[in-house]
Amino acid sequence: MKKTFVINQTEHTLELDPRMTLLDLLREDLNLIGTRKGCDFGHCGACTVHIDGKRVLSCLKLAATVDGEVTTIEGISQDSHLHPMQEAFLVHDGYQCGYCTSGQIMSAIACVNEGKATTREDIKEAMSGNLCRCSAYTNIVAAIESYCNNHTDKQVAEQVAS
Amino acid sequence: MKPFVLEQASSVTDAVSQVGEAATRSQTTVYCAGGTTMIDLMKLGIAEPNTVIDLLALKPELDQIRMTDAGLEIDALATMAEVAAHPLINTHFQAVADSLNLAASAQIRNAATVGGNLLQRTRCAYFRDGHESCNKRKPGSGCAAQQGDSRGLAILGTSKACIANYPGDFAVALVSLDASVKLQHPNGTTRQLNVSNLHRLPEDQPDQETNLAPGELITSILIPDMPWQASRYVKVRDRTSYAFALASVAVALNLDARGHIQDVRLALGGLASKPWHCHNAEEYLKGKALNDVNVLEAAQLCFHGAKVDEHRAFKLELGQRTVIRGLVEAYRHAQAA
């Protein structure tokens, strides 16, 4: 079956096996390998992407049933500048091996946009779907907290709109 | 994953008639909405449908939440996140909002629909591992869980054939609020079924999990607009977030002018083969004050007939303590109301 996708603001028309997940489509067909395959069963969050701005697990989504615009980690920087959330992860050392980091960052951006990053405890709860086997959690939470402190609601809203 | 044909539904009528037609050709057809359980089970080889009917195209016509004369109606394709965040849910049905917010992860709640959530299958490791004996997956093969690690499984409603537990939270809250589901049959008829009758006890046919007819589709969920002073959902699990319940309780409560219990609903999750309605404890509590003696007696009544082994013995006390916490939290909230 043939389907047209908008991924990172670019249109792609692809021939699909109905079994293909969005995750495999991104990695195998489009070489967008920033989105990671951790468990492939919805446990770890490494494959988190946005569909119409909402964070979802691309491993539990059949590509043929994608019903909106997809944004991956490759699509969040603008004019070769890192997204401020990426900057915050760098500054706070919010990773160790880095395997889960793209999923963490995609989840963190959505978590802030959902208005769920008001306290440290809220951030922990809202980010519980992203596991980090190196256990860099303290710095991940610190990165998100600092992002929120450095960005006014208006700036966040503008980023969502853009 | 076994190859399958993917069909997009163009309407509810179209979806159910496609399944009805496939049944006449002995084809296994499943509905798929958010896919967070179905795709998981297809990867594991537990679900091997010939045809998958994608319901997401129907979302715009089937994801509304509205107050009707009969109560609050939630369309089946609304996501868990959409329902949990809806003002009508947050203000009138706290237990429902809590049961959704405490379930799964934010990513899963953004994709999973409430209709699909009700039908999620057990997380019993012996069911999900295709190599172990499991009467639910392969009728007549036996139940490896009973000689294995059954720590996460049921102590209420079990049978010789199966000790799997129902893993969900939302259905437990719905049972406590006397909710029902609206169903569309492939032959064009519709009916309403109480959520407490949606799931079946395993008995000697654990593979028969629900009272839905083949191809019958949940189109909406109806919660009667009872004026509960408090409704609460308490969930106890191994880690603070993103885990299935070891024990959970949904409580709906009304107090009379003396502060005694006028009406109460109690349902348990994590501990039973289906969302578990505690009729005995409800009857016992009506008209009584909520003191130490009465809450303990009610908590014990909830577990009448429970069957445990060395792996699950702790769940009897944990379950009772969860019931007590739920009752006390609901009571404090009702007093403040």
ipTM of the modeled complex = 0.95
Q: What percent of chain A has pLDDT over 90?
A: 86
Q: Residue B212 burial (CB < 10 Å; 0-12/13-18/19+)?
A: middle
| Model pLDDT, residue B91 | 82
Which residues of chain A lie closer than 8 angstroms to B242, CB-CB? 128-129
Query: Chain B interface residues facing chain A, Cβ-Cβ under 8 Å?
Result: 1, 3-6, 32, 35-36, 39-40, 43-44, 52, 54, 56-57, 59, 81, 104-108, 110-111, 240-242
Residue scoring higher pLDDT (B22 or A50): A50
A153: pLDDT confidence band, cut at 50, 70 and 90? Answer: low
Could you list the pLDDT tens digit for every one of the 337 residues in chain B? Answer: 999 999 999 999 999 998 888 777 777 899 999 999 999 999 999 999 999 999 998 998 899 999 999 899 999 999 999 999 999 998 889 999 999 999 999 999 999 999 999 999 999 999 999 899 999 999 999 999 999 999 999 999 999 999 999 999 999 999 999 999 999 999 999 999 999 999 999 999 999 999 999 999 999 999 998 889 999 999 999 999 999 999 999 999 999 999 999 999 999 999 999 999 999 999 999 999 999 999 999 999 999 999 999 999 999 999 999 999 999 999 999 999 8
DSSP-derived 3-state class of residue A1: coil
Contact A126 B1 (CB under 8 A): no
- Partner-chain residue, chosen from A17, A40, A64, that has the shortest CB–CB distance to B43: A40
- Partner-chain residue, chosen from A41, A45, A65, that has the shortest CB–CB distance to B35: A65
Contact A60 B110 (CB under 8 A): no
Taking residues A4-19, report their average pLDDT: 96
Taking residues A8-26, report their average pLDDT: 97
What number of H helices and E strands is found in chain A?
6, 5
Burial B44-69 (b: 16+ CB within 10 A, else e): bebbebebbbbbbbbbeebbebeeee
Q: Which residues pair with A50 in a beta bridge?
A: A55, A71
What separation in angstroms does the CA of B172 have from each of B194, B211, B233, B292? 12, 17, 9, 25
Whether residue B254 contacts residue B264, with contact meaning beta carbons closer than 8 Å, is answered with: yes
DSSP-derived 3-state class of residue A60: helix
B1 min Cα distance to partner chain A (Å): 7
| Model pLDDT, residue A78 | 85
Taking residues A104-121, report their average pLDDT: 94
Contact A61 B39 (CB under 8 A): yes
- CA torsion, points B327, B328, B333, B337, in degrees to nearest 10? 80
pLDDT in tens, A82-102: 999 999 999 999 999 999 999
- Partner-chain residue, chosen from A21, A67, A127, that has the shortest CB–CB distance to B56: A67
Contact B105 A45 (CB under 8 A): yes
Which one of A3, A20, A55 would you mutate to disrupt binding with B, by most B Cβ within 10 Å of its Cβ? A55
B126 min Cα distance to partner chain A (Å): 17
| Model pLDDT, residue B6 | 95
B63 min Cα distance to partner chain A (Å): 14
| Model pLDDT, residue A18 | 97
SS3 for chain B is CCCCEEEECCCHHHHHHHHHHHHHCCCCEEEECCCCCHHHHHHHCCCCCCEEEECHHHHHHCCCEEEECCEEEEECCCEHHHHHHCHHHHHHCHHHHHHHHCCCCHHHHHHCEHHHHHCCCCCCHHHHCCCCCECCCCCCCCEHHHHCCCCCCCCECCCCCCCCCCCCCHHHHHHHCCCEEEEECCCCCEEEEEHHHCECCCCCCCCCCECCCCCCEEEEEEECCCCCCEEEEEEECCCCCCCCCCEEEEEEEEECCCCCEEEEEEEEECCECCCEECHHHHHHHCCCCCCHHHHHHHHHHHCCCCCCCCCCCHHHHHHHHHHHHHHHHHHHHHHHC
Which residues of chain A lie closer than 8 angstroms to B3, CB-CB? 17-19
A161: pLDDT confidence band, cut at 50, 70 and 90? Answer: low
| Model pLDDT, residue A160 | 53
- Partner-chain residue, chosen from A21, A48, A116, that has the shortest CB–CB distance to B107: A48
What separation in angstroms does the CA of B29 have from each of B47, B115, B216, B219? 10, 17, 12, 18
Contact A61 B43 (CB under 8 A): no
| Model pLDDT, residue B90 | 82
Contact B40 A19 (CB under 8 A): no
Alpha carbons B38 and B137: distance in angstroms, whole number? 14
| Model pLDDT, residue A151 | 78
- Partner-chain residue, chosen from B6, B59, B110, that has the shortest CB–CB distance to A56: B110
The size of the A-B interface in CB pairs under 8 A is 82
Residue A61 touches chain B, beta carbons under 8 Å? yes
Average pLDDT, chain A: 93
pLDDT in tens, B182-233: 999 999 999 999 999 999 999 999 999 999 999 999 999 999 988 899 999 9
A162: pLDDT confidence band, cut at 50, 70 and 90? Answer: low
| Model pLDDT, residue B130 | 87
Residue A68 touches chain B, beta carbons under 8 Å? no
Alpha carbons B238 and B155: distance in angstroms, whole number? 17
Alpha carbons B46 and A147: distance in angstroms, whole number? 43
HSE at residue B160, side-chain half, CA atoms within 13 A, is 2
- Partner-chain residue, chosen from B3, B81, B105, that has the shortest CB–CB distance to A128: B105
